[in-house]
């Protein structure tokens, strides 16, 4: 396939400059295999040093470079530009219909935007504080009852299998961005925090089930999930937040039924 020309329409906004948000176009010849992150680094180095975005590991393990690419949440370091030609196009809000359709058909135009449901600090950089506050609220750390053993706590493989998929989360916030409940209810704990909550609920070494269920039993906890499954579909690491939420909900219902039965 070799090198192909692309136009990157990148969201630009600097709240400190008191200017309207908008898009700026950058043309770039992209060799096969180049990722969106590499393209942004090239644009920043050669065309516009004011462009702001986050990245760290470049290997899909830190979650820092999550952004909207052609209208879909993705890790920029894991998204190859040439591969985007086969994927659905973004709708370019605010453009005239004709122009919108033209760009939607143009495979050489790549739209890059910040994640949704988080405030923009500058360009593609969003404020992750609300995301991490929700994570902290579910106490994502081991809470065993017994004192620390001499050696490590051993977990049998079959017991670990339930918690293991949730340990793959890299806290990229793609699920937070794609979740329609997050958009309507900013107090909702959200798929990432609830997935990490279930990771410890399912951990055979943890003994704080009662306290953990109480943490997510309110109106902004698991009860608020609409089971749209966007988070499962978008997660770049295969974490299934909705499944964990459903299992947590079932545990809460069982506990409630049990205590109702005991009270009769």
Interface residues toward ligand SF4, by CB under 6 A: 63, 169-175, 191-192, 195, 235, 237, 239, 241
Closest distance between ligand SF4 and the C-beta of residue 151, in Å? 31
Mapped onto helix, strand or coil, the DSSP state of residue 127 is coil
C-alpha count within 13 angstroms, C-beta hemisphere, residue 6 = 29
CB of 179 to ligand SF4, least distance (A): 9
The least distance separating ligand SF4 from the CB of residue 227, rounded to whole angstroms, comes to 16
Judged by beta carbon, residue 109 or residue 170, the one nearer ligand SF4 is: 170
CB-wise, 37 or 171, nearer to ligand SF4? Answer: 171
In 3D space, the residue among 184, 217, 189 whose CA is nearest the CA of residue 130 turns out to be 189
Residue 189 beta carbon to ligand SF4: minimum distance, rounded to whole angstroms: 12
CB 165 within 8 A of CB 203: no
Q: Smallest gap, in angstroms, from Cβ of residue 108 to ligand SF4?
A: 28
- Under 8 Å CB-to-CB from 112, ≥6 apart: which residues? 8, 9, 10, 11, 36, 40, 67, 68, 69, 76, 124
Tell me how many helices (H) and strands (E) the chain has.
Answer: 10, 7
Q: Which is nearer to ligand SF4, 43 or 192 (CB)?
A: 192
Could you give the angle at the alpha carbon of 82 between the alpha carbons of 104 and 180, nearest 5°?
55
- Would you list the DSSP string of 132-150? HHHHHHT--S---SSPPPS
Using CA atoms, how far apart are residues 245 and 223, in angstroms rounded to an integer?
Answer: 9
Strands 109-113 and 72-75: unpaired
Question: Would you say 34 or 195 has its CB closer to ligand SF4?
Answer: 195
Instruction: Supply the minimum distance, in Å, between the C-beta of residue 44 and ligand SF4.
Output: 24
Nearest residue (CB) to ligand SF4, 12 versus 244: 244
Q: In terms of CB distance, is 63 or 110 closer to ligand SF4?
A: 63
* Burial (Cβ within 10 Å: 0-12, 13-18, ≥19) of residue 108: middle
Least CB distance to ligand SF4 at residue 240 (A): 8
Decide whether 4 or 237 has the Cβ nearer to ligand SF4: 237
């Amino acid at each position: 396939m070799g090198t192909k020309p692309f136009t990157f329409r990148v969201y630009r906004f600097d709240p400190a400059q008191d200017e309207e948000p908008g898009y700026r176009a950058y043309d770039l010849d992209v060799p096969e295999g180049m990722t969106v992150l590499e393209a942004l680094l090239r644009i920043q180095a050669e065309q516009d040093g004011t462009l702001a975005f986050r990245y760290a590991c470049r290997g899909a393990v830190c979650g820092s470079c999550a952004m909207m690419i052609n209208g879909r949440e993705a890790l920029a370091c894991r998204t190859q530009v040439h591969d985007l030609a086969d994927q659905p196009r973004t709708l370019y809000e605010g453009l005239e219909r004709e122009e919108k359709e033209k760009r939607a058909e143009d495979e050489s135009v790549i739209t890059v935007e910040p994640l949704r449901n988080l405030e923009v600090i500058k360009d593609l950089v969003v404020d992750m504080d609300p995301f991490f506050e929700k994570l902290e609220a579910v106490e994502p750390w081991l809470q065993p009852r017994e004192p620390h053993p001499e050696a490590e706590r051993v977990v049998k493989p079959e017991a670990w299998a339930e918690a293991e998929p949730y340990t793959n989360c890299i806290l990229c916030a793609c699920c937070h961005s794609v979740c329609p409940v997050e958009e309507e209810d900013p107090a909702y704990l959200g798929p990432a925090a609830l997935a990490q909550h279930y990771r410890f609920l399912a951990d055979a070494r943890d003994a704080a089930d009662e306290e953990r269920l109480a943490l997510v039993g309110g109106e902004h906890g698991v009860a608020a999930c609409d089971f749209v499954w966007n988070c499962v579909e978008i997660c770049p690491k295969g974490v299934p937040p909705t499944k964990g939420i459903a299992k947590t909900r079932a545990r809460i219902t069982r506990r409630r039924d049990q205590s109702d039965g005991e009270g009769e």
